Structure formats: C-alpha cells, structure tokens
C-alpha cells in the first residue's frame, strides 16, 4: 500500500500478471491521492496520474464503491436537487446513523446554494475585478467562507463576480475512475471562465485550484487564466498587513493539495504571523494528512478516522486554542474528529481569520 507498491501492482495488472480482483482494487482506491509521492519520486514519475489511470481501469472491479459511484455520477448533473435531497435525508435519518458510526460526518447543508445568492458585487472605485470559483463544498456546506472572502475583497476595493454556470471541478468523479465525466465538467468550466476579465480567479478549496491548474490543461488543452489559491493572492498580489485580532494561540494544518499539489506552504504562515494578537505555534506534523481525502473518508471510514486521530493528537500537543487551515474538506474532517475525540479547539479557514482581523481593525 505504499506508492511504489501500488505502481508495481498496476504494472502487474497491465502486463496481465495480476487479475482485477476486489482486493487489488481496494489497494488502488485506498490511496488518499494526497500528491506527496509526486514530489519525492527520484525518477520524477507522476504517480498520482498512474493511480487515476488504474482507477479508470479497475472501477468495475471495485464493488465497495459501486453504489457511491452511481450516486456521484447521477448527482453531479443536478447538484442543487441532489443536495436538496441530501439535506432532507440528513434531517430525517442522519443523527442516529452518525452516532452509531454507520455514516461519515456531514455538515449542515445550506438552504440556498451560495452561487444562487450572488452574481456581481460592484465597487464605487474598483481597482480590479476578481472572480470566484466557489466549489461544491463552499457552495453547499460553507457559504460563510465565500461571504468572508467577499467581505475582504470589497474592503480592498475589488469587484467580485460569481458565475452561476460553474460546475464541480471534477475531482470526486476522477477519484472514482470516471474520466469521461471529469472531462465534460472541465470543458464546461473552461468555457465559462476563459473570457472573464479578472485579475484573478480565486478558490477557497486547494483541490479545486490544483485540479484546474494542473489537470485542465492536460485534459482539455486549456486552463482557466489566473486561477489561484487565496493564500497566493493575499501574499503575492494584494498583501495583508497592519491587522489586529483578539488574542489567539494558533497552529496551522497544511492541506495536502495546497502543500504537495500546489507547493504553497509559507504563504499562510506569513499571513498568520503578520496579524497582531496571534501567537503562532508550529505543529510538528503539520503536513501530515488529516485523513479526509474526499470520498476516501466515506469508502474507508475507519482508516480515515485512524489517520485523523493522529492529526488531532498533533494539534493538541501544540497547546493552541485554534487550528487554521485553507481547505473546506479539512475543516469537515477536523470538525468530525473534534466531536469524536471531544477536543476543545476552534477550527477556522484562513479567510475567516483575515475577515475577523479586518473587522476588528475597523472597530479600533
């Protein structure tokens, strides 16, 4: 189950030395797709791409994921309807099944998707226009993150654009071996964003940013110009300084697709260390995965929680009262782990910290 082991398994499958069994499929689909192996392979082999190729080949043999694959394939075409149904089911059945550990954690689902709420926020004296790639998790689970980002951008005198035709970036589908469906979504997003005149297209989700920046050009031949993570934008293009926040002891958890996929590590730390009132404490294992891995946390729930418990222990050892990250998926996982381990700690996205500091600055 190491990166090298999985590559050897897939080599044996391609050469006809191994059969596509359920056990073999489990080995390939249990990869977290964190991208860590990609950067340390001495031969420069793109191991994640080999895993995705293997999943496409093995998807019919992976019986554990058969039902979820069908659900993802169907729901992706009618996301608003699918989440309306999920919201109803969560209200009806979720709590007893979650307490019995039969279900993974599902955060409360917003009554109205974020993208259906905003379209264009003008500014009297705009210094530029910024578009948001909202992403599914922010759109349906964490609209407050997008609202915080909009608050920051408007205070910085930017116009903000939200395009309602945006669809899923495709990461959940490709993780299930659905390459054709991923390509279809990528083409729709590229067509929607390619003519947008914006200084940046910002995402609050590192997975969305990584997928658009690294997958789309190879899948479609085109990308979305100026796509970037919020940490990039605020450190390299805009700057966040002279801010103050109430006293907090903060540690930072590195999302895998931000640190490994996009190689963005120092930027969030510079932001946090630059805000007055924060005492920043480095976590020893900050780049270790929290165990979320998208659909991995549903398909391999116990393994996901075992990985996550180690992360919670690392957080507790820092003595911090707040853990900050830059990924909605990590927030979802850490919130689940906090509940199960009864850990008393605040969990925040970095835009929430910036927004709180900017609002606090106004009140001084």
Residues whose CB is less than 8 angstroms from the CB of residue 161 and which lie 6 or more positions away in sequence, other chains included: 119, 120, 121, 129, 130, 131, 132, 196, 198
Quick check: 291 and 308 in contact, CB under 8 A?
yes
Residue with tokens 């109430």: 246
- Confidence category of residue 335, pLDDT binned at 50, 70, 90: very high
pLDDT digit string, tens, across residues 22-75 = 999 999 999 999 999 988 888 888 999 999 999 999 999 999 999 999 989 888
Q: How far apart are CA 278 and CA 293, in angstroms?
A: 29
Higher local confidence (pLDDT), 87 or 137:
137
Average pLDDT along the chain:
91
pLDDT digit string, tens, across residues 156-191 = 999 999 998 899 999 999 999 999 999 999 999 999
* Average pLDDT estimate for 202-231: 96
Q: pLDDT at residue 360 above 80?
A: no
Q: How far apart are CA 14 and CA 9, in angstroms?
A: 9
pLDDT over 70, % of the chain: 98
Considering Cα of 62, then 216, then 191, then 257, what sign does the dihedral take?
positive
Helices 143-155, 350-363: crossing angle, 10 deg rounding: 50
- How many residues does the structure list for the chain? 364
pLDDT digit string, tens, across residues 275-302 = 999 999 999 989 999 999 999 999 999 9
Domains delineated in the chain: 3-61 (no CATH), 114-235 (3.40.50.1860), 239-363 (3.40.50)
Q: How far apart are CA 13 and CA 9, in angstroms?
A: 6
Lowest mean pLDDT among 125-139, 236-250, 265-279, 337-351: 236-250
Q: What is the pLDDT of residue 244?
A: 87
Helices 301-318, 328-341: crossing angle, 10 deg rounding: 80
Q: What is the pLDDT of residue 361?
A: 52
Q: pLDDT at residue 122 above 90?
A: no
Q: How far apart are CA 159 and CA 190, in angstroms?
A: 21
- Beta bridge partners of residue 202, listed in sequence order: 132, 228
Task: Report the relative pairing of strands 322-325 and 243-252 from DSSP bridges.
Answer: parallel
* Average pLDDT estimate for 103-111: 83
Quick check: 222 and 194 in contact, CB under 8 A?
yes
Count of beta carbons in the 10 Å neighbourhood of residue 334:
25
pLDDT over 90, % of the chain: 73
Count of beta carbons in the 10 Å neighbourhood of residue 91:
11
Alpha helices in the chain (DSSP H): 3-14, 22-29, 36-40, 47-58, 66-75, 79-89, 95-99, 136-140, 143-155, 171-175, 179-193, 206-210, 216-220, 230-232, 256, 266-273, 296-299, 301-318, 328-341, 350-363
Quick check: 270 and 340 in contact, CB under 8 A?
no
- Beta bridge partners of residue 327, listed in sequence order: none
Q: What is the pLDDT of residue 331?
A: 97
* Secondary structure (3-state) at 225: coil
* Rg of the chain taking only CA atoms, in angstroms: 20
Q: What is the pLDDT of residue 253?
A: 98
What is the pTM assigned to this prediction?
Answer: 0.92
Helices 79-89, 66-75: crossing angle, 10 deg rounding: 120
Higher local confidence (pLDDT), 361 or 205:
205
* Secondary structure (3-state) at 294: coil
Q: How far apart are CA 118 and CA 138, in angstroms?
A: 13
Q: What is the pLDDT of residue 54?
A: 95
Q: How far is CA 148 from the centre of its chain?
A: 17
- Confidence category of residue 364, pLDDT binned at 50, 70, 90: very low
Q: What is the pLDDT of residue 363?
A: 36
pLDDT digit string, tens, across residues 243-268 = 888 899 999 999 999 999 999 999 99
């Amino acid at each position: 189950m190491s990166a090298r082991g999985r590559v050897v398994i897939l080599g044996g499958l391609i050469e006809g030395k191994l059969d596509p069994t359920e056990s073999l499929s489990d080995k390939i689909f249990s990869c977290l797709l964190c991208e860590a192996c990609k950067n340390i392979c001495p031969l420069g082999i793109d191991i994640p791409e080999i895993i995705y190729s293997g999943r496409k080949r093995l998807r019919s043999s992976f019986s554990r994921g058969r039902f979820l694959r069908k659900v993802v394939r169907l729901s992706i075409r009618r996301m608003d309807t699918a989440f309306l149904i999920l919201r109803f089911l969560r209200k009806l059945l979720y709590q007893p099944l979650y307490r019995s550990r039969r279900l993974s954690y599902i955060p409360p689902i917003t009554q109205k998707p974020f993208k259906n709420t905003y379209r264009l926020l003008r500014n009297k004296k705009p210094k530029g226009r910024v578009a948001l790639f909202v992403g599914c998790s922010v759109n349906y689970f964490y609209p407050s993150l997008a609202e915080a980002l909009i608050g920051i951008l408007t205070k910085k005198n930017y116009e903000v654009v939200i395009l309602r035709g945006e669809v899923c970036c495709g990461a959940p589908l490709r993780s299930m071996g659905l390459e054709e469906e991923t390509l279809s979504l990528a083409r729709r997003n590229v067509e929607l964003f390619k003519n947008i005149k914006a200084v940046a297209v910002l995402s609050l989700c590192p997975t969305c940013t990584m997928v658009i920046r690294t997958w789309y050009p190879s899948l479609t031949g085109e990308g979305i110009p100026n796509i970037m993570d919020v940490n990039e934008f605020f450190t390299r293009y805009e700057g966040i300084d002279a801010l103050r926040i109430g006293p907090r002891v903060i540690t930072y958890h590195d999302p895998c697709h931000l640190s490994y996929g996009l190689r963005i590590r120092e930027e969030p730390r510079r932001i946090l260390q630059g805000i007055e009132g924060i005492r920043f404490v480095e976590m020893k294992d900050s780049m270790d995965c929290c165990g979320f891995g998208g659909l991995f946390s549903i398909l391999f729930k116990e393994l996901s929680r075992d990985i996550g418990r180690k992360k919670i222990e690392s957080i507790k050892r820092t003595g911090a009262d707040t853990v900050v990250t830059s990924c909605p998926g990590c927030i979802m996982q850490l919130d689940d782990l906090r509940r199960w381990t009864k850990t008393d700690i605040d969990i925040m996205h970095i835009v929430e910290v910036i927004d709180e500091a900017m609002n606090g600055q106004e009140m001084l």
